[in-house]
Amino acid sequence: MRQVHIETFGCQMNEYDTELVRALLKKAGYGFTEDRECADVILMNTCAIRENAHTKVYTHLSDLRALKKSRPLVVGVLGCMAQNLKAELTKQEPMVDLLAGPDSYRQLPMLIDHAMQAQEEGVRMQRLAVDLSEYETYEGIAPARLSGVNAWIAVMRGCDNFCSFCVVPYTRGRERSREPNGILEEARRVAAEGFKQITLLGQNVNSYRSGEWDFARLLAAVADVPGIERVRFTSPHPKDFPPALLEAVAFHPKICKHIHLPVQSGNDRILNLMNRSYTMREYLTLVEQIRSINPDIVLTTDIIAGFCTETEGEFADTYRLLEEVRYHSAFIFVYSERANTIAARKFPDDVAPEVKSQRVTALVEMQRRISSERNREYINRTLPVLVEGDAKKSRLQAMGKTDGHITVIWNKCDLPSRPGQVVSCSIYDASASTLYAKAPTFSDLHRPENEHSCTNSDQGVA
Ligand code: SAH
Ligand code: SF4
Ligand code: F3S
């Protein structure tokens, strides 16, 4: 059996797509290996969102050169970089045998077969499948998931928003949603396979629409699937939060109390240049609505610092926004110009690199302080935590997530648990990124702030 090794970069949608690719190749008779040295085919599922994502892939590709010289090997580039760079990538990297964009994965078995055949015949030829589709949702393909606690389910693909800085509308094409029946069937299947959490995915997940079904209705229906403990979603856009969606998040016991609400900038002129379609006032009104409907909802965000023509004063507005909203955490990025985007065509990338990085550093430092203060508010509280597995740093410790998606770590000997279980954790310490927990004592459980704490359930993955 021919062995395929897949490396995945980028967002959760790419992780999900890798599972689709695995399913398609499995059906075509391919096996899989974690070890690139043993592979007949190496595929890289790539990301194009910022320049460093590109650089990472070029570095990995150059690592493969020696390997490819030493034996027959098919190298393929999939995903957003394949879609975005096409000819440039094939010219710059002649050792790449095939390219397949995010809507072309059904053609992969055929592309790989042809590449292998050509290699056996000693012919050098690159194969490209980079057409974007208005319809492809990979309906009917059951992703080959690795076992775990969380199952990703893509409910829509593509993006029609054209934020001026962003390459995604060009790499992922137009928005399209799946039928609710296919999604619910997939949700029931993953529940039967033992997954405890579902994360609904889409480049603009809350723009989901299929006939009478909007995202709020879909989210609640997925959360009602028996056996699923928690449902999350990413990434939403602030423009699509009708009251029904806020109510679903605020009140449905299985929908996690976490909203990732990318803001990008705290200044109206910059938001307008970014084509984000909301003003600061509209965004802050939404934050207020979310917090007034349920103050326990954890808010996180994405920020870009040093966007085209951003002045010191406009940057200061973003700094003040972080102070005002006090997100639990934030991903903060240096603006990275992407070829052919609206910003690249229309605005100068004129903030000096050192100024961009000073601005990012200032925001990161401020956010670390806020995250740490926010997390310390959980000390002495007992929280239900979905166990994911071993902690990264030590196998003697376990790791899980709160409903609000905050990482919790504890010593296994103190609080025994299995992946997939929801356990009560008593928080005794906190850093900017992590809560530290122990088993709750009788008095922990009876503190007034723990009235709503859970009892340990026993629902591990078999
Ligand atoms: N669809 C998601 C965003 C996906 S990209 C949404 O709209 O929220 C994730 C984040 O990467 C974006 O929110 C933005 O903060 C950042 N990003 C996108 N393009 C970028 C660029 N050219 N430079 C720097 N950061 C960028
Ligand atoms: Fe990119 Fe904007 Fe679409 Fe998000 S909404 S994927 S940032 S264009
Ligand atoms: Fe990257 Fe494409 Fe996702 S550009 S962030 S892999 S949609």
- Alpha-carbon radius of gyration of the chain: 23
Instruction: Write down which residue in 327, 348, 376 finishes a domain.
Output: 376
Question: Could you report how far apart the first and last alpha carbons of the chain are, in Å?
Answer: 29
370 and 274 both lie in a single domain: yes
pLDDT, residue 125, reads: 80
When pLDDT is cut at 50, 70 and 90, the band that residue 453 belongs to is very low
Number of C-alpha atoms within 13 angstroms, CB side, residue 267?
A: 19
Given a cut of 60, is residue 114 above it in pLDDT?
Answer: yes
Torsion region of 428: left, alpha or beta (phi above 0 gives left; psi -120 to 50 gives alpha): alpha
76 and 198 both lie in a single domain: no
Instruction: Write down which residue in 376, 405, 438 finishes a domain.
Output: 376
323 and 207 both lie in a single domain: yes
Structure tokens at 20: 């689709």
254 and 370 both lie in a single domain: yes
Residues 100 and 154: their CA atoms lie apart, in Å, by 19
pLDDT, residue 94, reads: 81
CA of 193 to the centre of ligand 3 (A): 28
Ligand 2 in reach of 159 Cβ (< 6 A):
yes
- Nearest Cα residue to atom 5 of ligand 3: 11
Residue 221 lies in a domain: yes
367 and 386 both lie in a single domain: no
pLDDT, residue 454, reads: 39
Residue 360: C-alpha distances to residues 66, 311, 364, 365 (Å): 37, 14, 6, 9
Q: Find the mean pLDDT for residues 14-31.
A: 97
State the residue range of the domain holding 407. 382-459
Torsion region of 10: left, alpha or beta (phi above 0 gives left; psi -120 to 50 gives alpha): left
When pLDDT is cut at 50, 70 and 90, the band that residue 22 belongs to is very high
CA of 120 to the centre of ligand 1 (A): 42
Residue 313 lies in a domain: yes
Residue 138 lies in a domain: no
Q: What is the CATH number of the domain that holds 116?
A: 3.40.50.12160
Torsion region of 373: left, alpha or beta (phi above 0 gives left; psi -120 to 50 gives alpha): alpha
395 and 317 both lie in a single domain: no
Site of tokens 């879609």: 83
C-alpha dihedral over 417, 418, 422, 425, to 10 degrees?
20
Contact 75, 61 (CB under 8 A): yes
Q: What is the CATH number of the domain that holds 454?
A: 2.40.50.140
Give buried/exposed letters for 118-135 (b at 16+ CB in 10 A, else e): bbeeeeeebbbbbebbee
- Lining residues, ligand 1, CB within 6 Å: 49-50, 165-166, 203-204, 235, 237, 262, 264, 302, 304, 333, 335-336, 338
Given a cut of 50, is residue 403 above it in pLDDT?
Answer: yes
Query: Which residues, other chains included, contact 122 with Cβ-Cβ below 8 Å and sequence gap of 6+?
Result: none
pLDDT, residue 458, reads: 35
pLDDT, residue 88, reads: 82
Number of domains in the chain: 3
Residue 399 lies in a domain: yes
284 and 306 both lie in a single domain: yes
Residue 136 lies in a domain: no
336 and 260 both lie in a single domain: yes
Query: Which residues, other chains included, contact 311 with Cβ-Cβ below 8 Å and sequence gap of 6+?
Result: none
DSSP-derived 3-state class of residue 97: coil
Structure tokens at 215: 């995202």
352 and 422 both lie in a single domain: no
108 and 83 both lie in a single domain: yes
120 and 169 both lie in a single domain: no
Residue 435 lies in a domain: yes
Query: Which residues, other chains included, contact 88 with Cβ-Cβ below 8 Å and sequence gap of 6+?
Result: none
Given a cut of 90, is residue 443 above it in pLDDT?
Answer: no
DSSP character at residue 348: -
Contact 310, 270 (CB under 8 A): yes
Given a cut of 50, is residue 58 above it in pLDDT?
Answer: yes
Q: What is the CATH number of the domain that holds 208?
A: 3.80.30.20
Ligand 3 in reach of 169 Cβ (< 6 A):
no
Instruction: Write down which residue in 376, 396, 429 finishes a domain.
Output: 376
CA of 94 to the centre of ligand 3 (A): 24
Among the bound ligands, name the one nearest to the CA of residue 162: 2
CA of 458 to the centre of ligand 1 (A): 39
| Peptide linkage before 235 cis (omega within 30 of 0) | yes
335 and 228 both lie in a single domain: yes
Residue 134 lies in a domain: no
